[in-house]
Amino acid sequence: MNTNLTTILFDLDGTLIDTNELIINSFLHTLDHYYPNQYKREDVLPFIGPTLKETFGSMDQDKMDEMIRTYREFNLTNHDLLVKEYEGVLETIQALKEAGFKIGIVTSKISDVVMKGLKLTKLDPYFEVVVALDHVEKAKPDPGPIFMALEKLNSTPEEAMMVGDNYHDILAGKNAGVKTAGVAWSVKGREHLESYHPDYMLENMRDLLGILGVEKG
């Protein structure tokens, strides 16, 4: 049990809400347009986590902006159809809030789509701070987004934890000097995440309550 923590920061995609199918399908749709029949589902899994600029920029700098627009158009159109919540998330967030924890989101997604996902899964009332891609100069694993969230929440690294499904989240947390928790439901696989040595591994989001000494319900 860690009773020194007051502040919990969460990644969004693949951590709080299940956007994996939306992201995978958005990549496949985009890449099939520019590189027909070259990419399969397993080929796009490594693209989950990095920013779209990193992924598409490494393929073709000249077409990067166009590819991002194609991706986002498909992503927005199909958002509500493909996004769903993870079991145990809503009740955990409610319990943390009731227990007086400061909670925020640090994501590599742009803010308008972040809010769309939070509203769809009824998580939007609980987060005091959202640090999205369009709020920062450098994305995770740079510690800047975490520092920004902590400043807005009036918290220090020593009292904070970063929870995420991707190695970018774990490295960003370590770079910022906060505790880290990986989620075993990561699409990249539990072993991949464990190789980055998070302080905790969650089998279900409810595990956070035990770690933090919060009574359930």
Q: Can you give the residue ranges of every domain in the chain? A: 7-18+84-212, 20-82
pTM, to two decimals? 0.93
Which pLDDT value is given to residue 24? Answer: 96
Catalytic residue set: 11
Mean model confidence pLDDT for the chain: 95
Give the architecture-level CATH label for domain 7-18+84-212.
3-Layer(aba) Sandwich (3.40)
State which amino acid sits at residue 183: V
Q: Please report, in tens digits, the pLDDT of each residue of the chain (217 residues total).
A: 777 999 999 999 999 999 999 999 999 999 999 999 999 999 999 999 889 999 999 999 999 999 999 999 999 999 999 999 999 999 999 999 999 999 999 999 999 999 999 999 999 999 989 999 999 999 999 999 999 999 999 999 999 999 999 999 999 999 999 999 999 999 988 999 999 999 999 999 999 999 999 987 5
For 128, other C-beta atoms within 10 Å of its C-beta total 13
Domain 20-82 belongs in CATH node 3.40.190: no
Longest dimension (CA), the chain: 53
Q: CA 173, CA 146: separation in Å to the nearest integer?
A: 7
Q: Do 20-82 and 7-18+84-212 have the same topology in CATH? A: no
- Residue 2: phi, psi to the nearest 5? -115, 105
* Dihedral (CA of 124, 16, 136, 56) sign: negative
**Residue 11, token pair as written in the block:** 């990644």
